[in-house]
Amino acid sequence: MADSVKIETEKPKKKFTWGLFITGGVLFLIGMWFGMSTLHYKASESFFPFRTAGWFVIGFPFFALAACGFSAVFCLIAQRFHKTAWILMLIASSLFLLQTVNSALPYNQLAKITGEKLAGKLKLEEFYKGDSFNDGECAYGIICGNESTMKLITEHKVLERKISVPIQFTFFKNHKLPETGDIYSDNHCSFYVSPENNKIYFYWHSFIYIAKRN
């Protein structure tokens, strides 16, 4: 009787899923880019108002590490459930992108200033949001409207009206504003109604002391 020969077959080693790793990392970085982007919006001409933020460039090595960690989670899952890992990664990335892109849109950024209930009712003409660089977020822009529009804003936001005060909106270099006027403001933002051209100029800063200084 011949001795039985035991044949051992080596299990094939599972390869690292580079495609999953790279795709997940890139989608994560795109989401971070939108979430930190600055805005240069003009209703009459802006097709893609987003710009790369300085903080995104400075912090890119850290964001890249975070992207690697994000992708690595799904790569571990792919060692046993390859298709499931891809599906989960795409779902998570899509939700993350949807949230960051949606929050970065001009009217959603305006909601931080005027409130969510009112932002969609206003007609935004220009909106600019810049890098913070350790002094909070800042934004300025122009809303189409007059005193009636301003009254609507004050119904949703508590503002103090100051009569005939200096207008220090130095951001609007292409717009000729008077030296003094009536300003509606709180600790974070200021509004000036220009009846001559039916516009409301505004400036907002997340830090209280900046708003007080301006």
- pLDDT tens digits, residue range 131-163? 766 667 889 999 999 999 999 999 888 899 998
Higher pLDDT, 205 or 22: 22
- How far CA 25 is from CA of 74, 95, 181, 182, in Å, comes to 11, 15, 51, 50
Give the tens place of pLDDT for each residue, 29-41: 999 999 999 999 9
Average pLDDT over residues 3-27: 70
Half-sphere CA count of 115, side-chain side, radius 13 A: 11
> Among the listed ranges 60-64, 70-74, 166-170, which one has the minimum average pLDDT value?
166-170
Asked if the model's pLDDT at residue 108 lies above 90, the reply is yes
Question: Is 79 in a helix, a strand, or coil?
Answer: coil
pLDDT at residue number 187? 87
pLDDT at residue number 174? 83
Tell me the two tokens of residue 177. Answer: 């504003």
- Answer yes or no: pTM beyond 0.85: no
C-alpha angle 27/31/25, rounded to 5°? 30
